Amino acid sequence: MNQDFPSTKSDQLAELAQAAADARARAAKRATERFSKARTKEEVSDLEYRQRLYQSLKRDQVIVEDTRELRIKKSLSNWKQKVGPTFAEATTENPLILDRVARLQTDNGRHLTSLAMYGDLGVGKTWTGYAYCNLAIASGAVTDGQIVADTETSVLGRIAKGGYKAPDMLEELFNPRYKIYFIDDVGQAHFSNDHGRTEVWYELIDHIYNNQLTLLITTNKSFNPNAGFGSLEGWIGKRGFDRLKTLVGRDGLIEPSKVNRRASVLDERENNYRQG
């Protein structure tokens, strides 16, 4: 004989918990149905989808371009503080330099981005070298922190005299962040001996050659090996000079001018000042 017993308090709590769980399940089901209907209403044609995707990509591209322009602007500002206003304003329309800078932005043209500027005092060698660097930064190919730019005395002369510190100094000079080495006034530094000079030059040129980096030099040394010690080969050594010729290529020697331009540059600036 069956007999119904009165529900205990625990049974009542269990029933309430089950009822609450069922209510939550029904609410979740209704929410899912509403979401599915909303998604159905949001479905668009393939054409509209592509248009929306294009607009989204276009917005992303604008963000990328804005970021790139800000990076270039900051780099140019930092560069101007490093080199001073005179050389930060250096420009050039030399097609060979424009070609070299364009190659910096490619993967398969980096083997030929180096140049050698030669000639007598005041013909614009240093100006041309800095013009190259300015264009490279403005194009976004490099930042100011990726360029080593100084005289031969400051860059290599101190390493040759560095004694036991020389290896560490070379290691810092060969930091992977550096992409362009601009060595000004090659042939003017004082080295304690010829061997130290030619060795440090070979180390630098070999590093640049092996890593497809850029070397810019200015010098009044002759590129004619028969000029003896007055030749660039006599200064940097036969091994270094041979590799340098490969770096700059057949057309990589630039003589900016045959006359001293410093007086004319000063006159031009003075005229600009007087004309307001």
Closest CA to 147 of 96, 88, 201: 88
Structure tokens at 219: 């010098």
| pLDDT 10s digits, 80-113 | 999 999 899 999 999 999 999 999 988 889 999 9
Sole residue written with tokens 């006034």? 185
Assign 3-state DSSP to the chain and report helix, strand, coil percentages, each to 5.
Answer: 65, 10, 25
149 phi, psi to nearest 5 deg: -135, 110
Q: Domain 78-274, what architecture?
A: 3-Layer(aba) Sandwich (3.40)
Torsion 119-123-127-128 (CA) sign: negative
CA distance 15 to 239: 94
| pLDDT 10s digits, 178-193 | 999 999 999 988 887 8
Structure tokens at 181: 């080495």
Domain ranges of the chain: 78-274
CA distance 82 to 26: 70
**Going by DSSP bridges, is the β-strand pair 214-219/115-118 parallel, antiparallel, or unpaired?**
parallel
| pLDDT 10s digits, 222-270 | 888 777 768 999 999 999 999 999 999 988 888 776 555 555 666 666 6
